[in-house]
Chain A
C-alpha cells in the first residue's frame, strides 16, 4: 500500500526488533505516520488540518473522560454538578472550558478540512472512500456535539434537545412516537439526559474507529496534493517523518495558541448566556439557537416557511437540512471534471468562493433571530447551496476548460523536471 521507494522499517534496537518480529506494531506506525510513508512534497498548510482534527478529538476524549468523573447525569443535579466542576474540582474550570472550546476548535479545523476537500476536489477517484468516511465522521461529530451540549442541562440544552428531537416528529405517521421513543418521554427529562450522556461517551470512540478507517483508506492511494497531479516518481515525495511531522508540529503550535487564548481569556465567547440558566420546561427562551457550528444547517432548516406540494414546511426543512449534508456523499459523482485542483479550474474556483461566502451567510442567519430580513436572506443562500452542489457543479464540470497542469509535482515545486519527457509514470503498488 505504498510507493516502491518507501523506506523500509529496519529496527536497530534489539528490543524493537524483538517486538517487531512478534507484533509488527512499530512497523505499522512507521509506515503510517513515520519515515515509511512517502507524501507529496508540495502540501501546503491546508494539509495540516487532518492531524489537527485528530488532535482535537484526543483532546476532547481526555478532557471529557475526566469531566465524566465529576459530572452527574441526573436532571435534578446535572446543572449544579457542572458548577461544582467549575468551582470546587481542582482545575475543573480549565477542564470544562477546555472541553467546551475544544468542541469549537474541533469544528473549526474540520470545516477547514472539508472545504480544503471541496477546493482541491480531494473526493475524486481514487479517494472516494476517504471522503465518504469523512462525511460519516462529520455526521457522528454533529450527533456527539449536540448531545454534549444537552449535558449541562441549561436552558439552551433543554430547548435545543426539544427542537432537535422535534425534527423527528415531522416524519409522517411514525414521527411523534419516534420522538417520544428517542426522548424516553414526552419532553426532554431525566431519561433523555441519561441516554444522551451514555451516547456522548460512546460516540467519540466510534468516531475514533471511523478515523482509523479514514486514515487506512488514505494510505491506499496516498495523500492528494495542491496540484492534483498524482505522484509519479520518488522526487515527487518526501518521507512523512521528519518533513511533515515538523510541519505539523508548527501547525499544532498555532492551533494550541488560538485554543488557549479562547480557554483562558474568552471562554464564553462562543457560548450562549442562556445556558447558564438552569433548564426550565415552563420558560421558553426568546431565541432558541444551537451552538455556532450548527448555524448554517439551522438556517436551512428554518428557511422553509411555506408548505410545498402538500409537504408541510417543517418536513421540507428537516429533509433539506439532512440533505444539505447527505449531498456531500454524492460529490465524487457530481463533479466529473478530470482535473482535481481548483488552482487549474477558473470557473469552478469562482463558484467555490461563492459557496464559502454562501455558507458564512447561512451561518450568520442561523444564529440570528427567525425574523426578516434573515429568513429571506437564508432562503436565497439555501437555494444557492443546493444549486451549487446539485446543478452548478455538474454543469461546470462539463463546460469548463481547465488550465494546463504541470507534468509532475517535482515540476510544480522546482519549475523543471528532467523526467518530464523521458520516464513513464511509475504506478503506485497497492
Chain B
C-alpha cells in the first residue's frame, strides 16, 4: 500500500510545485517587478567600533554617562525608557546621592492617585521608580527606547547611523551613482516626515535630533560633536537594552574555562576506558 500510494503522493506534490514554479517563472518574465526605492537606496549601518564589541568588550562607564546626558537633554523629550529604573543608574558609576538628585529633578514627574479622594497628581521621582512615561502630542508615536538597541538589526551601529544619517533628499545618490528623485520622483519625502537612508523605508517622523556640535555640554571635557553624541547615546541605549552585558561575559569565561578542562578530562577518561577495545 505504502509503496503504491507513496510515489503517487510524491508526484502530486511535485506536479503542484512545478505548476507554482511555472506560474512564478511566467510572471517573472512577463511582468518583472521593478526594484523598489527601499531596495536601491536603503543603507546598511556604518561600521563603527564600540567598547562592548566582541567577547571581551565591556561598557565604558564614562561613555555611558555621556550617553545618558544626551538621552536626558535630547531624547527624553519624546521617548520613554520604561524598563529602566533610576536606581539602575548606579551601574553607570553614579553614587546614590547623585541618583536621588537625578530622579528628583527629572522633568516628567511620577503620577499619583489617591484611592480615598480619587485625586490624581504627581510627585518627584524616587530612585525606585522606573523612568516615567512621556506623553507626546506631536505627529507620530515615539517608541520606548529601553530595548531599541536589541530590536533593530545592527543595534548600536544602527542607532549611530540613524542619528548621523539625516541628509538632503534632493540630489541624493546611492553607492552606484543612481539619483533617488530622478529614478523615483514619487518617493519624495512627504511633509512632516524626514529623509534618512538608514531608516527602513527612507522616511521617518523623527526630525534630526542631534543638529549641532555642543548641543549637550559634557562634564568630562569630551568634545560634544554630533558624531560623538550619537556614539555615546548608542552606547547608553545598548546598556538600557542589555544592562547585564558585562556580567554575562564575565561569567562566560570561567564557565567556558571549566567546561574546557572538564571536557579534556572526559576525553582522557574515554580514551582510558576504551584503550583495550580498538
**A→B interface (CB under 8 Å):** 41, 80, 83, 86-87, 93-94, 97, 238, 242-243, 246-247, 249-250, 252-254, 256-257, 260-261, 263-265, 267-268, 273-277, 286, 303-306, 308-309, 311, 313, 316, 320, 323, 327, 330, 333-334, 336, 372, 375-376, 379-380, 382-383, 386-387, 389-391, 394, 413
Quote the shortest CB–CB distance from A271 to chain B (angstroms).
9
In the complex, are the beta carbons of A87 and B243 less than 8 A apart? yes
* Residues of chain A with a CB closer than 8 A to B6's CB: 330, 334, 389-391, 394
Task: With CB as the reference atom, state the residue of chain B lying closest to A379.
Answer: B21
CA distance A172 to B246 in the complex (A): 53
The yes or no answer to B266 lying at the interface (CB within 8 A) is yes
> Is B151 close to A, CB under 8 A?
yes
- Indicate which residue in B11, B17, B260 contacts A391 across the interface (CB closer than 8 Å): B11
Q: How far is the CA of A336 from the CA of B10 in the complex (A)?
A: 17
Contact of A273 among B17, B151, B266 (CB under 8 A): B151
The 3 closest A-B pairs by CB, nearest first: A390-B10, A264-B252, A253-B263
Take A94-B248, A333-B3 as given contacts and tell me if A386 and B28 are in contact as well, using a CB distance cutoff of 8 Å: no
Which listed residue (B23, B24, B146, B255) contacts A260, Cβ 8 A?
Answer: B255
20 pairs from A and B in contact (CB 8 Å cutoff): A83-B146, A238-B277, A249-B270, A250-B263, A253-B263, A257-B263, A260-B252, A260-B255, A261-B252, A265-B249, A273-B152, A320-B13, A323-B9, A323-B13, A386-B13, A390-B9, A390-B11, A391-B7, A391-B14, A413-B277
**A303 with B252: CB separation less than 8 A:** no
Q: Which residues in window 1-28 of B have CB below 8 A to A?
A: 2-3, 6-7, 9-11, 13-21, 23-25, 28
Q: Which of B9, B153, B269 has the most CB of A within 10 A?
A: B9
* A268-B270 in contact given A87-B83, A383-B18, A389-B10 (Cβ < 8 Å): no
Q: Are B277 and A379 in contact (CB under 8 A)?
A: no
B241 adjacent to chain A (CB < 8 Å) = yes
- State the CA gap A376–B9 with chains docked (Å): 21
The closest CB in chain A to the CB of B26 belongs to A306
| Closest residue of A by beta carbon distance from B82 | A80
Q: Are B267 and A250 in contact (CB under 8 A)?
A: yes
Within the complex, the shortest CB–CB distance from A74 to chain B, in Å, comes to 17
B120 lies within 8 A of chain A by Cβ: no
Majority-rule SS of A interface residues: helix
Known: A41-B277, A387-B10. 12 other contacts (CB 8 A): A93-B247, A97-B248, A246-B266, A252-B266, A306-B23, A323-B9, A334-B2, A372-B24, A379-B21, A382-B17, A389-B6, A394-B6
User: Which residues from chain B sit less than 8 Å from chain A, CB to CB?
Assistant: 2-3, 6-7, 9-11, 13-21, 23-25, 28, 33, 55, 83, 88, 143, 146-147, 150-153, 200, 241, 243-244, 247-249, 251-253, 255-256, 259-260, 262-263, 266-267, 269-270, 272-274, 277-278
Minimum CB–CB distance from B204 to chain A (whole Å) comes to: 14
Task: State how many angstroms separate the Cβ of B275 from the closest Cβ of chain A.
Answer: 11
CB–CB A264/B273 < 8 A? no
A309, B18: Cα distance in complex, Å:
13
The smallest C-beta distance from A174 to any residue of chain B, in angstroms, reads: 23
User: Is A372 within 8 A of B28, CB to CB?
Assistant: yes
* Set of chain A residues within 8 Å of B152, measured between Cβ atoms: 273
Closest chain A residue to B13, Cβ basis: A386
How far, in angstroms, from A275 to B151 measured CA to CA in the complex?
7
Task: Decide: A261 and B256 in contact? CB cutoff 8 A.
Answer: yes
A327 to chain B, nearest CB (A): 8
Instruction: Name, among A277, A306, A382, the residue most crowded by chain B CB atoms within 10 Å (CB to CB).
Output: A306
Rounded to whole angstroms, the CA-CA distance of A305 and B252 in the bound complex is 46
The CA of A267 and the CA of B247, in the complex, are separated in Å by 13
Contact B259 A256 (CB under 8 A): yes
Kindly state the separation between the CA atoms of A86 and B3 in the bound complex, as whole angstroms.
53
> Which residues of chain A are near B255, meaning CB under 8 Å?
260, 264
> Which B residues lie within 8 Å of A309 (CB)?
16
Residue in contact with A242 in the complex, picked from B153, B252, B256, B273, CB distance below 8 Å:
B273
Least Cβ distance of A326 to chain B in Å?
A: 10
CB neighbours (8 Å) of B21 from chain A are 376, 379-380, 383
Q: In the complex, which residues of chain A have a beta carbon less than 8 angstroms from the beta carbon of B266? A: 246, 249-250, 252-253
Q: Which residue of B lies closest to A258 (CB)?
A: B259
In the complex, residue of chain B having the shortest beta-carbon distance to the beta carbon of A371: B33
In whole angstroms, how far apart are the Cα atoms of A306 and B262 in the complex?
55
C-alpha gap A387/B270 in the complex (Å): 42
- Tell me the complex Cα distance, A252–B262, Å: 10
Known: A243-B273, A261-B256. A306 touches B20 (CB 8 A): yes
Min CB distance A101 to B, Å, is: 12
Residues of B within 8 A of A379 (CB): 17-18, 20-21, 24
Cβ contact of B259, chosen from A41, A257, A267, cutoff 8 A? A257
Chain B contacts of A390 at CB under 8 A? 6-7, 9-11, 13
The complex places the Cα of A376 from the Cα of B17 at a distance, in Å, of: 9
Whole-angstrom distance between the Cβ of B236 and the nearest chain A Cβ:
16
User: In the bound complex, do residue B256 and residue A264 qualify as a contact, i.e. CB atoms below 8 Å apart?
Assistant: yes
A274, B151: Cα distance in complex, Å: 5
Contact assessment for B17 and A276 in the assembled complex, using a CB-CB cutoff below 8 Å: no
Chain B residues in 8 Å Cβ range of A330 = 2, 6
